[in-house]
Structures are given as structure tokens and as C-alpha cells.
Amino acid sequence: MTTTAKTRLEPAQVRVALVLVLGAIAPLLDSTIVNVALRTLGRSLHAPVADVQWVTTAYLLTFALAVPVTAWAAERIGAKRLWVFALGLFLLGSVLCGLSWNLGSLIGFRVLQGIGGGLMTPVLQTLLVRTAGSRDRLGRLMAVATIPAVAAPIFGPVLGGLIVGHASWRWIFYVNVPVCLLGAFLAWRVLPADTPVSPGPAARPHLDVTGLLLLSPGLAALLYGLASVGTEGGFGHLRVVVPLAAGAVLVAAFVIRTVTAAHRGAGHPLIDLGLFRVRSFSAASVVIFITGVSIYGPLLLLPLYYQQVRGDSVVLAGLLMAPQGVGSLLARAGGTLTDKFGPRPVLLVSLALTTLGTLPFLFIGDGVSLVLLCLALVVRGTGLSAVNIAVMTGAYRDLARDQVPHASTTTRIAQQIGASFGTAVLAVILASQLAAHPGAAAVAYGHTFGWALVFTLAGFVPVLALPRKALTVPVSVGTLVK
């Protein structure tokens, strides 16, 4: 049998990846759809904008609270059962959100959605890595399964604008129902049965309650502080400083406690920080953080530029984001190239493409060619999507099977904090640039995109610590899937 035949994706593996993609679509689209509908929700529920913001904030915070528990839950009950449970919880939350009778009930039901969504993303990555069987197939599976993560922020505002413009606000939640139902049904039928890592009741890991009480609130406080930066106009407000400081203290306490317990050989940590002793994982985690900044930060700028500088409508601004989504679909070959050449060369080329696609936005003006911007977004989307595929592949390639759930949780946290940090920092920079250039919004946006480019360029440094070459000997199935 040839090497190509050994590493080619099996039909069963492709089916599993597609089923996971289907289930992931709903939570990944949800946030961007709801963001578009906030003004409509305020008018329909007779609530001020400041209160309506809690529709997104409650989801964000409970999402963060749920993520750290996924590694333990996957080990305790099995990743397949956890995936179906999380999808069902998100479905229930979506139905109840659509039936909400006032703002308070809507915020409460968004908490259910947030828990379901927070559990799903890390479990998706765990199931995907185990499905790959050997690491030299992982890039191709990542190319399939990362489609929603890259495309959802692009197409979500378009779908949200269409729903808000032509249907009741309740349909921004009801649209999740058929996707979740079909995703749960297919997951139960198609995903291979799995068992907990430690099947014996006495040997199953106990939940690190103290670690959970430190890390989950710590992450929620950090994300709340970052989310408040834009509304409070900077990092100096108490509503920003206090949660950021509290979150930093709690996360630091978690790290110190977990490292100390590991030295004593005590207990089962909520997250295995020993992962960071693996050079490729540490480097990939830094790149994942920077990728979160590079993807989600400019996603704040682009629609605002189209609306404030060009005067486009919300729906048209969303449609003008579509070329970046097209670019993300063109990057699917990045998975095969990563398997063949290793993550480092693919990441270097992909970051170069991202840089090239960002450059035109440094020189935007009232009369800039819309065709040029669309082409730039295609290039930028291709680069960012290929980065996402290669860095996720690089993060897992040197890990053992029992480390996979912890790695999935850790990479999700890194990306989420990176996304919130990028959005917060670019919001502050944009506000300061608009104040410094009154009547010249295009110049302000150009300078802000310059900072987005700086964040992208920062990704080149940790990439050099990733594996340079592809694996020459396939890792046995037992290592990842046993």
C-alpha cells in the first residue's frame, strides 16, 4: 500500500467531520446573527441598548464558564455523549429564547445557549483529532471541520440582516432548531461510540472543583472586562479595570495551584498545564491567540468602515464581507499541504497572504476601489483560514491521546481571549483615531488597520518554534484513537 493510500481520508472519517461541522454551525453563527439584531431586540422588547447588550454578554460569560469543564466531562462520560448533550442543550436554549416574553427571560435562556455552545467547540476538536487516527491525516480533517469557525463570522451578519429585515426577531433563534435537530440525530447515528478514558468507576477522574471555581470565573471576568472596553471608551474605567484585575488574579491563582499540585503528583487537574512543556503546543497556542486577534479584531472594523465611511446599509456591509468567506473556502488545500510539508511552512506562507490581504486597508479612502477591497478580502480570508488549519494541526501533532481533551480546552480558551482582546484593543484604537482625525474617518480607519497588520506580523515569531517538517512515519492509530 502506498503512503498516499495510507494517509488518504477514509469515507467514514469524512462523514464524521461533516456531521461535526453541521452541529457546529448553529453556535458559531448564533453570536454574529444576534449582534446584528440587538437594535431590533431593543425596540421589540422595549428595552434600552445598555440592557439589551446583556443578551450577548450573558452568552459570552456562560460560554467562558463552560469551556474549562469540557476536558473533565469528556473523560468522564465520553466525548460523543458530551457532544450530543451540548447540542441538545443549545437546541433547548434556542427554542426558549424564541419563546421569550421579555428581556429578562431572553437573557436567562441565553445562559442555556452559552453553556451548550461553550461545551461544543472543545469537544468538536477532541472528536476530530481522535477520528484522524494518525497525525498525518489531521490537516485534511481540520480543513473540513474549521469551515464553520472561519466562515460563520463572515456569513452570520448577512443571515442576521436578512432575518431582521424580513421576519420576526424570534427567527434569529428558531433558525437553530432544524440544524440542531439534524446535527444531534446524525451525531448519534454516525459518530463512533467512545468510552471514557478511565472506564472503571473508581478510576474515573474527579472534577477539580477548586480549579473550576478559580478558572471559570477568572475567564468570565477577563472576557467581561475586555467586552466593556468599547462601551466604556477605554481601559481606564472601573468597569474594565476591576474585572480584568479580578480575572487575572483568579487565573494566576489557578495556574499556581495547578503547577504546585502537579509537582506533588496530586489529583486530576482541570486543565493539564504540562501541555506547555511540549514546544509545538506552546508555540501553536501563542499563534492561536494571535489568530483570534487577527480574525475577530478586523471583523469589528470592516462592517463599520463600510457603513460609516462608504455609507452602506447593514445588509450590504454584511454582503461585502462575503469575499473573505470565499477566501476561507479556497484555503481548504491548506490541510493537505500541512500534512505533506508540516505546519511551519504553511503558516509562514499563510501569514504572508494575510499580510498582503490586509495592506490595501491601510490606504482606504472615500473613493477606494470596491473591487480592490473585495479582492484583498479574498486573499486575506485565504490566508487566515489556512493559518487556522495549520496551527490547529501543529497544536496536536506531538500530543498523546489522553492529552487531547485538555489541549482542546486550552486552545479554545486561547482563541477566545485573543478574539476578545483584539476586538477591545482595536475598538480603543479606532476611537482614539477618530478623535484625532475629525472629519477624516477614512484616515482613522486606515491607521487602525495598520495596528491590525502589526498583530498579524507578530504571528511570524512563534511560528518558528513549530515543526518544520511533516511526520515521515505515521503515528499509530492507538496513539490518538485507542
- pLDDT tens figures, 282-341: 989 998 898 888 877 787 788 788 878 888 776 777 778 888 878 888 887 788 888 888
Predicted pLDDT at 480: 39
Predicted pLDDT at 219: 92
- Provide mean pLDDT across the span 213-222: 92
The full set of domain ranges for the chain reads 9-194, 208-269, 274-482
| pLDDT-derived band at 74, boundaries 50, 70, 90 | confident
pLDDT(390) > 60: yes
pLDDT top residue among 11 and 20: 20
Residue 41: all three cell numbers together: 431586540
3-state secondary structure at position 194: coil
Q: Average pLDDT of the chain?
A: 83
Task: Give CB contacts under 8 A, 24+ apart, made by 299-308.
Answer: 299/153, 299/154, 299/423, 300/423, 300/426, 300/427, 300/430, 301/361, 301/426, 301/430, 301/445, 301/448, 301/449, 301/452, 302/377, 303/157, 304/430, 304/445, 305/361, 305/364, 305/445, 308/441
pLDDT(43) > 50: yes
pLDDT(197) > 70: no
pLDDT(195) > 70: no
Residue 446: all three cell numbers together: 486606515
CATH assignment of 274-482?
1.20.1250.20
Topology agreement, domain 9-194 and domain 274-482: yes
Cβ atoms of 409 and 417 closer than 8 Å: no
Predicted pLDDT at 365: 67
pLDDT(137) > 70: yes
Predicted pLDDT at 138: 79
| pLDDT-derived band at 363, boundaries 50, 70, 90 | confident
Predicted pLDDT at 26: 84
Handedness of CA 254, 255, 261, 267 (dihedral sign): positive
pLDDT top residue among 333 and 98: 98
Q: What percent of the chain has pLDDT over 90?
A: 23
Cα 214–chain centre separation: 22
Calculate the alpha carbon distances from 240 to 218, 245, 257, 424 in Å.
14, 9, 26, 11
Residue pLDDT, tens place only, 451-461: 989 988 888 88
Residue pLDDT, tens place only, 99-118: 999 989 999 999 999 999 99
Distance of alpha carbon 145 from alpha carbon 14, whole angstroms: 10
pLDDT(251) > 90: yes
Residue pLDDT, tens place only, 265-277: 666 788 888 889 8
| pLDDT-derived band at 402, boundaries 50, 70, 90 | confident
| Predicted TM-score (pTM) of this structure | 0.84
pLDDT(85) > 90: yes
Predicted pLDDT at 482: 34
Cβ atoms of 183 and 21 closer than 8 Å: no
Spell out a b/e string for 222-257, using b for 16 or more CB atoms within 10 Å of the CB, else e. bbbbbbbbbebeeeeeeebeebbebbeebbebbbeb
Phi-psi region of 353 (alpha: psi -120 to 50; beta: other; left: phi over 0): alpha
Predicted pLDDT at 478: 35
CATH assignment of 9-194?
1.20.1250.20
pLDDT top residue among 370 and 214: 214
Distance of alpha carbon 334 from alpha carbon 325, whole angstroms: 15
Distance of alpha carbon 227 from alpha carbon 64, whole angstroms: 13
Predicted pLDDT at 203: 53
Predicted pLDDT at 207: 83
